[in-house]
């Protein structure tokens, strides 16, 4: 069943319009919450707008069990959508072994490609830090046992997130797990750390993702950081319907706006749009384990070359 669903999705992406999609216009939104109620009025039209903008794959992480189920349901209905399952730190108050059992069952679906969105959030203070950490550690253990990469949320908690991840990747359970044999173990979503954290994360087998905030005019420290980050270890995201990029701040975000993120990164790296698109799309396919499904006769790999940047 897994091979059949991936094949059908790949065929849909590489159908009659495949030849007119070049690396410059082929993008992956690695993190968007399409199941959220902000999209109830126009969800199908929103996904169509994304495809028209060149977004050929979208990954919808869960924030709780209900949202994880909704993400899977969307992935079943839309060939371009894949799901991640997990419980967000702000929603983990009742997290226990039973939640892990439910997530393990959901993760068996062939279009689930990661465990997430999981992590620590000290901004809202809706769940005690100890409980957040417990839920994070249990979901990391689950991800390792399943061989699925993790999507990490960190808000005002980078130091503690780093401590948990550092211990995890160096532990025997991870090192002997199927996840340790994959190219990447996880992604620091909406990266908000410094260069030292980025470099340490690379050593853990992690990558980074950036979205709307990189387009904000007042994000000067992020603008200074970006050229120092490895562009080949950077995915694009929108986090839609949140973190809307300039010039649409204050409105609902959606995956079609990822072109604004690509364009700002193009400016910051001093490269072409196709270099950013090609690097981020190729990385996303490897990270989510979709490289083989989209390796032949599709717009992701036609004419692919290794991007160069300074």
90 falls within a domain: yes
pLDDT tens per residue across span 96-148: 999 999 999 999 999 999 999 999 999 999 999 999 999 999 999 999 999 99
pTM for this prediction: 0.89
CA distances from 250 to 34, 196, 216 (A): 18, 32, 12
**The domain containing residue 216 runs over which residues?**
2-287
Q: Which of 90, 27, 91, 16 is nearest to 59 (CA)?
A: 27
83 falls within a domain: yes
Instruction: Give the CATH number for residue 141.
Output: 3.20.20.140
84 falls within a domain: yes
Residue 256 has pLDDT above 70, yes or no: yes
39 falls within a domain: yes
What's the pLDDT band for 293 if we cut at 50, 70, 90?
confident
Which pLDDT score, from 0 to 100, does residue 142 have? 98
9 falls within a domain: yes
What tokens appear for 302 in the block? 């036609």
Summary mean pLDDT of the chain: 90
135 falls within a domain: yes
157 falls within a domain: yes
Q: How many domains does the chain have?
A: 1
């Amino acid at each position: 069943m897994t091979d059949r669903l991936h094949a059908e999705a790949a065929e849909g992406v590489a159908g009659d319009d495949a030849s007119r999609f070049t690396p410059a216009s082929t993008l992956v939104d690695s993190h968007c919450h399409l199941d959220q109620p902000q999209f109830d009025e126009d969800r199908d039209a929103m996904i169509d707008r994304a495809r028209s903008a060149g977004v050929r794959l979208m990954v919808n992480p869960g924030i709780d069990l209900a949202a994880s189920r909704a993400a899977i349901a969307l992935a079943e209905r839309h060939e371009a959508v894949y799901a991640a399952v997990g419980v967000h730190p702000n929603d983990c108050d009742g997290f226990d072994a039973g939640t892990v059992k439910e997530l393990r069952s959901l993760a068996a679906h062939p279009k689930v490609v990661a465990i997430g969105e999981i992590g620590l959030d000290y901004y809202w203070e809706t769940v005690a830090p100890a409980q957040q950490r417990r839920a994070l550690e249990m979901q990391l253990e689950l991800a390792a046992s399943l061989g699925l990469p993790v999507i990490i949320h960190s808000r005002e908690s980078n130091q503690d997130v780093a401590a948990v991840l550092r211990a995890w990747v160096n532990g025997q359970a991870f090192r002997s797990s199927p996840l340790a044999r994959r190219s990447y173990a996880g992604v620091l979503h909406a990266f908000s750390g410094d260069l030292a954290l980025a470099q340490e994360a690379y050593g853990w087998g992690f990558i980074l993702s950036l979205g709307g905030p990189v387009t904000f005019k007042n994000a000067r420290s992020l603008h200074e950081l970006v050229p120092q980050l490895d562009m080949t270890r950077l995915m694009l995201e929108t986090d839609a319907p949140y973190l809307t990029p300039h010039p649409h701040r204050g409105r609902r975000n959606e995956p079609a706006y990822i072109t604004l993120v690509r364009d700002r990164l193009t400016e910051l790296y001093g490269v072409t749009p196709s270099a950013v698109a090609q690097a981020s799309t190729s990385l996303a396919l490897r990270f989510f384990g979709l490289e083989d499904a989209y390796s032949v006769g599709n717009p992701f790999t036609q004419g692919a070359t290794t991007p160069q940047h300074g």
